[in-house]
Amino acid sequence: MEYNFIGRDLEITDAMRSHAEDKFDKLDRFFNQIIDAKVVMSYNSKGTSTPARVEVQLNIPNGLLRAEENGVDTYAAVDLVLDKLERQLKRYKGKWEVRQQRQQQEDPSPFLTLTDENDYVEEPAEVVRVKQHVLRPMAPEDAAIQMDGLGHDFYLFRNSETDKVSVIYLRDDGNYGVIEPANR
């Protein structure tokens, strides 16, 4: 697996890089088709008990997996993010194997797949409800108010500033994020 390390307000030492690579190399036992990994390490010493942050993005066939964790130092944060990635890879591998088996079968039927000892992965969830939503032009700030009023974690709207369909969402840190389609 190829690694791309990025340090934000932090110089990544050889020891930190080696520790992370050793840990992330173990992910191959869960899913051996990982293409590459982007690892961002940062440090924020302003009044937090867990100032080190590690964000990892794994490029895998037909998608990517992403996890982030905070820790007392980068070594602890790497260990914590590794646990998250292991769980995600187990779940992804189970779904991937089900898809592969379905493609090989003529008459696919729902079933469970055994990935590890006593670790069953269920079929992907099916769409059970479709909602229609009128996309009214509004500023992201107005969309945030609408979202909060509905008690949702995200809200779909047409951004009046860019005239693009956008999604505003509530981040873990309590702030808001906006997702817009890229121009290609």
pLDDT digit string, tens, across residues 39-86: 999 988 777 778 899 999 988 877 788 889 999 999 999 999 999 998
Which stretches of 24-151 are assigned E, i.e. beta strand?
A: 36-43, 52-60, 63-71, 113-116, 119-121, 137-138
CA distance 74 to 146: 38
**Tokens read off for 93:** 């591998």
User: For position 121, what pLDDT does the model report?
Assistant: 54
What pLDDT, on a 0 to 100 scale, did the predictor assign at position 100?
Answer: 75
Beta strands in the chain (DSSP E): 2-8, 36-43, 52-60, 63-71, 113-116, 119-121, 137-138, 154-159, 165-170, 176-179
> What fold characterizes domain 2-106+113-121?
Double Stranded RNA Binding Domain (3.30.160)
Q: Is domain 137-179 in CATH 3.30.505.50, yes or no?
A: yes
Q: Which residues of 126-143 are buried (b: 16+ CB within 10 A; e: fewer)?
A: eeeeeeeeeeeebebeeb
Residues of the chain falling short of pLDDT 70? 106-124, 184
Taking the domains of the chain in order of start, what are their residue ranges? Answer: 2-106+113-121, 137-179
Answering whether pTM is above 0.85, one says no
Token pair in block for residue 113: 């797949």
pLDDT at 108: 45
- What is the structure's pLDDT at 107? 47
